[in-house]
Amino acid sequence: MIRVAVIDDDALIRESLKILLEGKEEIRIVGQGENGFDALRWAAQCDVMLLDLRMPVKSGLEVLSEVAGQTRVLVLTTFDDDAEIVRALRDGAHGYLLKSAKPQDIVQAIVQLYQGKSVFDAVAMEALRRSMKPEGQEKLADLSERESEVVAAIAQGLSNRQIADSLFISEGTVKNHITAILAKSGLSHRTQIAISHMKGEL
């Protein structure tokens, strides 16, 4: 059972998502909220959080990095501002969809995040592409060949288990490689690894 929290200041959106998700056997709504303080309160009690970025009192952007350290975060918003998207990805969002996404796409994204994957729609990927620095920039870290393979797999959205299977190594070894990559690069989570790889920094 995937425990989901929905944080959005629009009551209609919250109710619509509740109706959509409660109809799925594998998903259970465990919490709802309307601002960043609610997001912080529910972060440790859910497997996946649907988080709006712009909310009164305290926005989703203000708490994203802290929330993403406790649960998988799917940003679900109506805004497609490039700077906001890039900041959300850098602050640890594991997925990014516009609220105009098809209901089945939202459900699928929740399942994929729960499985350890990342889900970013075309709008987010294009914003990230536009934010990239020119090629030839200095690398963040000098990685081994195997670590580079793990980085590429993370950028493809593979889970640790899938990476282990594709590289014919144990899941524990994958975790060790990720720990080493984070230490060498100075990054703090796998989403940043994926972004850095796409930017040519890893």
Q: Does residue 138 lie in a domain region?
A: no
Query: Which of 76, 98, 131 represents a domain boundary (last residue)?
Result: 131
Considering the domain boundaries, does residue 174 fall inside one?
yes
**Could you give phi then psi for residue 149, rounded to 5 degrees?**
-65, -40
In a domain, 67, yes or no: yes
Same domain, yes or no: 165 and 122? no
Q: What is the mean pLDDT of the chain?
A: 89
What's the domain range around 176? 145-198
Same domain, 80 and 177: no
My answer on whether 67 and 161 are in the same domain is no
The answer on 149 and 127 residing in a single domain is no
Of 97, 131, 165, which residue is a domain's last? Answer: 131
Number of compact structural domains in the chain: 2
pLDDT of residue 51: 97
What does the pLDDT read at residue 36? 96
The Cα 69–Cα 65 span in angstroms is: 7
As a whole number, mean pLDDT of residues 172-184 equals 94
Same domain flag for 77 and 103: yes
Mean pLDDT for the stretch of residues 165-192: 92
- What percentage of residues in the chain have a pLDDT greater than 90? 61
Block residue for tokens 């990559």: 181
Pick the last residue of a domain from 76, 109, 131. 131
Q: What is the mean pLDDT of residues 180-200?
A: 86
- 121 and 155 share one domain: no
* pLDDT at 65 (0 to 100): 93
Is 136 inside a domain boundary?
no
Q: Are residues 156 and 75 in the same domain?
A: no
